[in-house]
């Protein structure tokens, strides 16, 4: 190939500009969202399970409850499939008083009535995450015991099953899909503009015998660099977000490294495939198509 034609190859590399910046930012934001969803899907379920299984339930016992009956009840309760292993604990009224005083919010005279401790004896436990969907039925059965006054617990959305998490996942997926389409559209539009601006150089190289692979190579190389840059930027932004939100102690270094490598791979793949498809489509168009586009 003539030297002049070879030098022209340098002009085929996409130049930086406003459209390139838009495509770069859109792809970076897309990868950032994908990275967040990957971490959420990997650790969200396990974290949610831990949170759901940390919800305490308290069975208030009647003052006149027979100790043998209470002991039998505890053994039966510990054998239930829905009880989290090792969470069952008997709390006497004296222990309850000590815990309340240890919190420091109340003094002893604020709790005792005429010097008498009226706090009830209680049994505390946690339920397995998969059993919380039927917690109301389980608690209703417990309250049928004669010596059980009531079963109390803190109202929290975590008790309502995982429907809200599914809805959140669907909304996040739709949001990510929107940015996938936006990033692909901007990448395609940017490449089309670059091909139009370099059409004369492409025609010259075609005249001197350059094959399609040679013509596509500069654009594909640039797409690889852009994909890696976007992946690195998204990984850095995600790490900074994790630090700012205080999630760093809950994530392992290996998980963060794997997530960053996946973002680099996704960025490279999306950028390269989008460029390859657009180049294959546009460079197959006849000369009349490009002349019409330039008008």
What the block records as the tokens of 219 is 């654009």
What ranges do the domains of the chain cover? 3-50+162-294, 56-153
Q: How many Å apart are CA 233 and CA 242, to the nearest integer?
A: 14
Would you say 124 and 89 are in contact if contact means Cβ atoms under 8 Å apart? yes
pTM assigned to the model: 0.58
Percentage of the chain modeled with pLDDT above 90: 8
pLDDT single digits (tens) 247-284: 777 777 888 888 899 999 999 998 898 888 888 877 76
Would you say 209 and 1 are in contact if contact means Cβ atoms under 8 Å apart? yes
The mean per-residue pLDDT over the stretch 235-243 comes to 91
Q: How many Å apart are CA 122 and CA 274, to the nearest integer?
A: 64
pLDDT tier at 3, thresholds 50, 70, 90: very low
Residue 173: CB partners within 8 Å, gap ≥ 6? 37
Would you say 270 and 184 are in contact if contact means Cβ atoms under 8 Å apart? yes
pLDDT single digits (tens) 33-46: 888 888 877 776 67
pLDDT tier at 235, thresholds 50, 70, 90: very high
The confidence score (pLDDT) of residue 15 equals 52
What is the chain's mean pLDDT, rounded? 77
Looking at domain 56-153, its CATH architecture is 2-Layer Sandwich (3.30)
pLDDT single digits (tens) 108-134: 665 566 566 667 888 999 998 888 878
φ, ψ dihedrals at 227, nearest 5°: -60, -40
E strands, the chain, in order: 57-61, 89-91, 122-125, 148-153
- Reply yes or no on whether the pLDDT at 66 is more than 50: yes
* Residue 183, number of CB atoms within 10 A of its CB: 25
The confidence score (pLDDT) of residue 237 equals 92
């Amino acid at each position: 190939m003539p030297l002049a034609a070879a030098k022209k190859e340098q002009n085929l590399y996409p130049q930086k500009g406003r459209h390139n910046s838009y495509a770069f930012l859109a792809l970076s934001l897309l990868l950032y969202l994908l990275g967040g969803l990957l971490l959420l899907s990997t650790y969200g379920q396990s974290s949610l399970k831990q949170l759901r299984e940390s919800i305490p339930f308290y069975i208030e016992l009647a003052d006149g409850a027979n100790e043998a009956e209470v002991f039998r009840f505890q053994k039966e309760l510990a054998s239930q499939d829905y009880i989290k292993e090792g969470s069952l604990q008997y709390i006497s009224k004296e222990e309850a008083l000590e815990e309340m005083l240890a919190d420091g919010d109340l003094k002893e005279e604020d709790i005792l009535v005429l010097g008498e401790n009226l706090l009830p004896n209680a049994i505390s436990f946690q339920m397995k995450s998969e059993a919380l969907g039927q917690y109301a039925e389980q608690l209703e059965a417990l309250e049928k015991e004669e010596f059980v006054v009531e079963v109390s617990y803190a109202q929290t959305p975590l008790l309502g099953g995982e429907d809200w998490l599914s809805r959140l996942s669907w909304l996040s997926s739709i949001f990510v899909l929107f940015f996938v389409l936006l990033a692909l559209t901007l990448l395609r539009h940017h490449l089309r503009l670059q091909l139009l601006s370099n059409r004369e150089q492409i025609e010259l190289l075609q005249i001197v015998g350059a094959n399609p692979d040679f013509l596509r190579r500069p654009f594909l190389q640039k797409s690889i660099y852009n994909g890696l840059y976007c992946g690195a930027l998204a990984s850095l932004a995600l790490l900074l977000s994790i630090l700012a939100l205080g999630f760093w102690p809950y994530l392992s270094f290996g998980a963060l490294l794997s997530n960053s490598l996946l973002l680099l791979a996704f960025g490279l793949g999306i950028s390269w495939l989008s460029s390859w498809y657009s180049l294959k489509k546009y460079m197959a168009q006849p000369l009349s198509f490009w002349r019409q586009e330039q008008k």
